[in-house]
Structure 1
């Protein structure tokens, strides 16, 4: 017996092994051991499957998450959850990061963040601006880091080693700033800047809130 959930789980497996280019109705049918035409009873086509995959990732983001009522802690936890889920499913994460589903879990995220920002003291327009900056930053990092995780291991290693093999070798005479920081660059650029960038964003939001107070 097929179901939307079974099809979405099969699609996640297909993406893991074949990437976005390999996601097709025929391949989903093979993964499910079903006639591919049976999928059309649940989805109109691959586009609808992609939106369902996106909604499934967002479901996993909010699963077990209980907002505390403190805007900064809630936004930080939600942002890191989103990043973690998308990077755990890199092929799906790259595919889903730019999509808008209108589904229940997406609605829950938007409603919760806007509510936190309005309760903190932001008027409607600023709350929307902050939400937009927050969610685009988190989805941007999710897509960037998911794309890196989707690379073959040898490509990941080559890119990481470039900071040591190329940048650490640049002479101070021609590139004084890179030479002075090459060790730090090598250390920092091998990991995601998602968390530090999120904290910088939230610092800016907090400063804007402080400026609003008498």
Structure 2
């Protein structure tokens, strides 16, 4: 049976931990993010998190029903960081581009957390707020709602998919990541034109582009498609 989560107001009245801090959901999430960065996904356990906070691990169940509930909170925190300070300009394309780049960047700032959470739907406050904003931007264009939802789904799924893909590369050990990046120069660039004419012809361009994220390009392509839909409508 799931453990009862104590209301936030009750949690704040608890005594400080051994480190002299009062536990809050935000503090736990921020500590979990730091541990993911330092130790990877395998290093984030309730026991280790309790030790890092100077609290008994069982105390964490006053704030989260389990590690999966904590994972959803981490996902929502990343979205919240992406949205922090954002202001709409009133131009739908400019606003969507900025939001997409912000979300992608927020996830890449925490690659281990991104790989862990990019495919999750938390239903928490920051996620709901961002979805409301994105849908509002698209509906402000006058597009019918079926087109709005179609573009919204492509926009958010593409953003999170690239965040997970790019974060997975960043989460690799440095030597492995460097080896992957070198393949374009060490292998692809040396393939003979006789057997691989297309790779050979484009090798310099492949070397130039393939170690960078394709997300900005993919985002512009999606926005172009949305603009074409708007023009047709």
Quick check: TM above 0.5? yes
Shift, 1:38, TM fit: 1.1
Aligned to 2:153: 132
Aligned to 1:14: 35
Deviates more, 1:175-184 or 1:8-17: 8-17
Distance 1:49 1:113 in 2: 25
Aligned to 1:58: 79
Distance 2:126 2:74 in 1: 12
Shift, 1:69, TM fit: 1.7
Shift, 1:179, TM fit: 0.2
Write out per-residue CA displacement over residues 146-195 of structure 1, whole angstroms, 9 at most, x where no aligned residue: 11110111111100000000000000001101000101101100111110
Pick from 191, 202, 206 the counterpart of residue 212 of structure 2: 191
Deviates more, 1:32-41 or 1:124-133: 32-41
Write out per-residue CA displacement over residues 112-164 of structure 1, whole angstroms, 9 at most, x where no aligned residue: 11111111121111100000000000000000011111011111110000000
Aligned to 2:94: 73
Alignment of 1:95 onto 2:116: yes
Distance 2:86 2:122 in 1: 20
User: Deviating runs (4+, > 2 A) in structure 1?
Assistant: none
TM-score (norm 1): 0.97
Aligned to 2:191: 170
Write out per-residue CA displacement over residues 54-96 of structure 1, whole angstroms, 9 at most, x where no aligned residue: 1111110110001112110010000000000000100001111
Shift, 1:21, TM fit: 2.1
Distance 1:206 1:105 in 2: 27
Alignment of 1:48 onto 2:69: yes
Pick from 136, 147, 166 the counterpart of residue 115 of structure 1: 136
Q: Unpaired runs of 5+ in structure 1?
A: none
Distance 2:90 2:127 in 1: 19
Alignment of 1:144 onto 2:168: no
Which protein has the bigger helix share?
A: 1
SS in 2 for 1:162: helix
Deviates more, 1:117-126 or 1:85-94: 117-126
What RMSD over aligned residues (CA atoms) do the two structures have, in Å? 0.9
Shift, 1:25, TM fit: 0.6
Aligned to 2:6: none
Aligned to 2:16: none
